[in-house]
Structure 1
């Protein structure tokens, strides 16, 4: 079963193009990721799995291995099991997806180099859950003299090697029917495309053409695509980025639309694709007529194309070390009468 599923998966794999490849996984690690033996890995190479290096000492792109494993249908690979675990909340009842939630949020950025360059500047986005009916408590910025960088407080900046933002974030979900016929047609069209979410190189994550030409999408490209369809139909829409509590890749993207009833509603195209990989998920996640904003979303004030964390040395972007933690907030002791 494992060999058959992986073999069929190679035939439908969207391989990372050569100009974006990063062969960062050796043969032994590839077998662990795919949960396969040496003979099966050789079979995958024969069927076209991209690799570099001499026979028996090949190296693979980790994104190719992840995407191949995720859609293999074996249930034994590391990506399948990790996805099933991190997305188990999608099996929650509607009440659980909408209920108020409190999380302790911490975001840090620092220069990834051993020695930071001159005039360092770190920029972070701050959580804005009030956009979806939530709130922020105890917001702290470290160092304390870090402050708004001029775009309405959506990010903070500090000319220092590192920066941290911490807060208690309160979120809640919201479920609403889509009223606009145009919106309902757009979401139904997207659902019928049977796209696959895949891990992509950063330079390709916003490539909308991959949706129509290759049938694959990232959360950024899917959100851009839906926003473009809304724009053509005359429906006000913006893309949004933020975080998802409990997801493997914490930075996420979705679309906020203005419906015919005047309400701003969340359309999350990728959650529907995610839920298709996990048995027993809540059907509302895949209903194109429903705008479902779960209590797992932590918005920023930023759109697709922006970044939640950035570091610069000498005025130029440089590699950043980013740490994100979103954990359940400690419960407060019950007050005694």
Structure 2
């Protein structure tokens, strides 16, 4: 079952282009990710699975392995199980997806070098749930403002905080709520239906390809960023005001998510999340509203920033240049008197 599924997945794999490959996984680790034996991995190599190195000591790009496993249909690979676990909330009832929710958010960025260079600067995006009926409380920034940095607080409309430091941390209690509404504009409904009919596949992509809408047209694959850009372009061509938005999803800590905010015919700004429908197709028993192109569904799991696709949520600079950074995100249920739905 596993071998058959992996071979089927290989036939539709979008291989990471050579100029963007990392080949950061050895053969033993590849077998663990794919949940296969040595003979199956050799067969995948014989049928075109990209790798580098001598026979028997190959190295693979972790994103190729993740994408291959995710669409293998076996249900037993590490990526499939991890996705099913992190997206289990998609099985929630509509009431659970819309109910007020409180989460404790902790963001950190730090220089990844052993020794940070001179004149360091660190930046983090701030949560902006106030953009869609939510709020932020107990916001703290470390280090505190010493006059050398700039702080933007959600209540004042700021989108990020900057400090002249090698690292930066932002913690806050984030209050979110969901909203469900019908799309009123016939043109907007047609665009949403057209996008859903494309049957795209979400895949892990290198940072340089995250925003590439051409991959949607040429290979039928998308990241949340490129899908949102593409959908916003369709709206703009139809004269419908639309902007992309980025933020976080409660339960998916390593993913900066993207979606589209559109102005509908009734004058209301509504969220269209082009990727959640693709995500929900990988999990059994998900709420059908997540896949309904006629419905604008903003779940209480979305934590927006004030930034559009293409803007970083975390950044570090030292010695006058952008520098590699370690970024961590923690989102946990905030302590409450009543237990919230998982």
> What TM-score do the two structures reach when normalised by structure 1?
0.97
Q: 1:204 aligns with which of 180, 196, 209?
A: 209
Q: CA deviation at 1:153?
A: 1.4
2:304 aligned with 1:299, yes or no? yes
- Hey, what's the Cα distance between the residues in 1 that align with 2:166 and 2:301? 31
Q: CA deviation at 1:316?
A: 1.0
2:300 aligned with 1:269, yes or no? no
Q: CA deviation at 1:149?
A: 6.8
Q: CA deviation at 1:89?
A: 0.3
Q: CA deviation at 1:14?
A: 0.2
Question: Does the aligned pair in 1 maintain the 2:280–2:290 contact within 8 Å?
Answer: yes
Question: Within 5 A, what are the aligned runs for 1:235-246?
Answer: 235-246=240-251
Counterpart residue number, 1:320: 325
Note the residue ranges of structure 2 that are not aligned, 5 or more in a row: none
Secondary structure of residue in 2 paired with 1:63: helix
- Hey, what's the Cα distance between the residues in 2 that align with 1:74 and 1:248? 25
Question: Within 5 A, what are the aligned runs for 1:207-246?
Answer: 207-246=212-251
Counterpart residue number, 1:174: 179
2:335 aligned with 1:330, yes or no? yes
Q: CA deviation at 1:148?
A: 2.6
Q: CA deviation at 1:248?
A: 5.0
Question: Within 5 A, what are the aligned runs for 1:62-141?
Answer: 62-141=62-141
Deviation string 1:301-333 (CA, Å, 9 cap, x unpaired) is 000000100000022111001111000001259
Secondary structure of residue in 1 paired with 2:254: coil
Secondary structure of residue in 2 paired with 1:301: coil
Question: Does the aligned pair in 1 maintain the 2:253–2:329 contact within 8 Å?
Answer: no
- Hey, what's the Cα distance between the residues in 2 that align with 1:249 and 1:14? 22
Q: CA deviation at 1:144?
A: 1.2
Q: 1:247 aligns with which of 252, 256, 263?
A: 252
- Hey, what's the Cα distance between the residues in 2 that align with 1:248 and 1:119? 30
- Hey, what's the Cα distance between the residues in 2 that align with 1:222 and 1:50? 26
Secondary structure of residue in 2 paired with 1:261: coil
Secondary structure of residue in 1 paired with 2:115: coil
- Hey, what's the Cα distance between the residues in 2 that align with 1:270 and 1:137? 29
> What TM-score do the two structures reach when normalised by structure 2?
0.96
Counterpart residue number, 1:61: 61
2:182 aligned with 1:185, yes or no? no
Question: Does the aligned pair in 2 maintain the 1:86–1:248 contact within 8 Å?
Answer: no
Stretches of 4+ aligned residues off by more than 4 angstroms: 149-152
Q: CA deviation at 1:88?
A: 0.3
